[in-house]
């Protein structure tokens, strides 16, 4: 089921391999109703096996909201336990898959990120926002915890003490503070479009060797849960596998020939 007269999530892949997934419910501050949640997870599942995609940008429609979590108006009609289980399952699986994608994922935070919207931000590899954006892990105000993996990711990004303060208070905080905390990597000036800024960043990544990007992403996330010995074995395996790739040979040839490498 769709919202009247519109697709709840838009998706396109550009010729250069940059894909854009855009939550498209601006009249509801891009809150995710059941239809949007299901489409979100379907698109993330499909893009994982799309060899044409080199970078994924996740954003929202308009400039007022990125994503404001689940659609509380719809969810208020479903107070039963099964609805909570469904909301938890669908979106936690979707965000776990975001982290597992074999290419960089950029959050282009075009407007306020609230509740589950902040959880989506934490699941992305690289994160930029407009200067006007506000953030809030607002779940506490709905007598809930995060439900999509956001607490664990936030602790890894900003540390336990800062995460506790943001989660226990559910307060609003600015893009500047989000950057200072380490939640956001870049703030986009007011005169520039946030999605265009994300595209510029994506184009930089597209020019880099694809297999090395995938291996580096895998290695960074593994470092958070593997033992030192387990991590060392994975690093060794990935390093040696990359040594034989055509992109590594191209990098060596370019160094010897004193030119810029052309990867992929």
DSSP class per residue in 35-62 = HHHHHHHHHHHHHTT-TT-SEEEEEEST
The 10s digit of each residue's pLDDT in 71-121 is 878 877 878 898 889 888 999 999 999 999 999 999 999 999 999 999 999
The 10s digit of each residue's pLDDT in 177-217 is 999 999 999 999 999 999 999 999 999 999 999 999 999 99
Q: Give the whole-angstrom CA distance, residue 38 versus residue 138.
A: 22
Of the chain, the percentage scoring pLDDT greater than 70 comes to: 98
Count other Cβ atoms within 10 Å, centred on residue 42. Answer: 13
When pLDDT is cut at 50, 70 and 90, the band that residue 6 belongs to is: low
8 A C-beta contact, residue 167 and residue 137: yes
Tell me how far CA of residue 50 lies from CA of 13, 93, 98, 101, 215, in angstroms.
Answer: 10, 19, 14, 10, 17
When pLDDT is cut at 50, 70 and 90, the band that residue 1 belongs to is: very low
């Amino acid at each position: 089921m769709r919202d009247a007269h519109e697709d709840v999530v838009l998706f396109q892949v550009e010729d250069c391999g940059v894909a854009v997934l855009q939550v498209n419910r601006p009249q509801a501050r891009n809150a995710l109703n059941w239809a949007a949640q299901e489409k979100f997870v379907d698109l993330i599942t499909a893009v994982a096996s799309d060899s044409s995609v080199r970078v994924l940008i996740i954003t929202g429609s308009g400039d007022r909201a990125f994503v404001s979590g689940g659609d509380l108006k719809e969810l208020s009609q479903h107070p039963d336990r099964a609805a909570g289980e469904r909301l938890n399952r669908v979106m936690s699986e979707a965000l776990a898959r975001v982290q597992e994608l074999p290419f960089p994922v950029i959050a282009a935070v075009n407007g306020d990120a609230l509740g589950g919207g902040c959880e989506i931000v934490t699941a992305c590899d690289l994160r930029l926002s407009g200067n006007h954006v506000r953030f809030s892990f607002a779940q506490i105000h709905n007598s809930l915890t995060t439900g999509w993996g956001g607490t664990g990711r936030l602790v890894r990004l900003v540390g336990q003490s800062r995460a506790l303060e943001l989660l226990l208070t559910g307060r609003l905080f600015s893009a500047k503070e989000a950057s200072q905390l380490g939640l956001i990597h870049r703030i986009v000036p007011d005169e520039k479009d946030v999605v265009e800024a994300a595209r510029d960043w994506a184009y930089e990544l597209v020019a880099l060797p694809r297999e090395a990007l995938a291996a580096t992403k895998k290695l960074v996330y593994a470092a958070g849960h593997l033992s030192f010995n387990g991590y060392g074995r994975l690093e060794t395996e990935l390093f040696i596998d990359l040594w034989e790739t055509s992109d590594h040979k191209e990098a060596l040839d370019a160094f010897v020939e004193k030119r810029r490498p052309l990867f992929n």
